[in-house]
Structure 1
């Protein structure tokens, strides 16, 4: 199956699922069919559209961060270098530098893989869009409407990320 067909099929499934979910979730709190249908159309359309954008952003993030690791120990030297102009600040910088070099040697294996960070950008985008659109729409049962969308997007994001990286490893091993 081509990536375009897979993407359109995913968007269609997202629309149908979230339309149905939102219809049910909001029928629990109101009997106004117009409000229920409007909320279901908003969330279904948003979920279908965001699935396309989410997948595009995820592929970009995986290409950018997927094979890298991020160590959080680099922050202090950057901050110290800004202030390393006087003799006292140079001594502080050298002390921090020595301490960080020692801790980096010990903590080398505790880096955070980029694979774990790559889906966070699309997940944050999707969550913000879902929250904003449903706030504007005045969806009656807001959190029950959008929370499954955010949770399943996160699961989808990580599964898709690992799938992309596995395909890339297979292609690299063939070459």
Structure 2
């Protein structure tokens, strides 16, 4: 299946699924059928549009980070530096600092593959847009409406990432 066809099919499936889900979720809590239908149209259209944008952003993110690794030896000292300025509770600070120092020693040389990080930025953008648009729309059951969208977008993001990397590996 071509990438363009896969993208259009994903957007269509996203629209149908989230339209039906939102209609069901909001029909349980509201008797205003116009608001329920509008909420379903908003979420269905939003999900289809975000599927298109998310997939595009994910492909760019995988191109940039997919073959990279990020060393934990650099991440832990950054966390320590941020938290070292907190002086409100010395006991908590010392315990946290000791735990981070121990983690830095244990993680020396360890790395996180870029494939684990590639879907996170597009997922954060998608979640923010979905929550904001449904909040502005006054969707009656906001969290039940957007939670599956965020969860399944994350699952889709990782599956799509590994599919892209497998296609690249197979083409080499």
Same fold, judged at TM 0.5 (above):
yes
Q: Secondary structure at the match of 1:38?
A: helix
**Deviation of 1:126 (Å):** 0.5
Q: Distance in 2 between matches of 1:26 and 1:162?
A: 34
Aligned residue in 2 for 1:56:
56
Q: Which residues of structure 2 form unaligned runs of 5+?
A: 82-100
Q: Deviations over 1:41-87 (max 9, x none)?
A: 0000000000000000000000000001001323649x99xxxxxxx
Q: Distance in 1 between matches of 2:52 and 2:167?
A: 20
Q: Which portions of structure 1, spanning 4 or more consecutive aligned residues, are displaced by more than 3 angstroms? A: none
Q: Distance in 1 between matches of 2:105 and 2:166?
A: 32
Q: Which residues of structure 1 form unaligned runs of 5+?
A: 81-98
Aligned: 1:154 with 2:154: yes
Aligned residue in 1 for 2:21:
21
Aligned: 1:165 with 2:165: yes
The number of residues matched between the two structures is 149
Alignment TM-score, normalising by the size of structure 1: 0.80
Q: CA RMSD in A?
A: 2.0
Q: Distance in 1 between matches of 2:26 and 2:105?
A: 52
Q: How does 1:1-175 map to 2 (within 5 A)?
A: 1-74=1-74, 76=77, 103=105, 107-108=108-109, 110-172=110-172
Q: Secondary structure at the match of 1:70?
A: strand
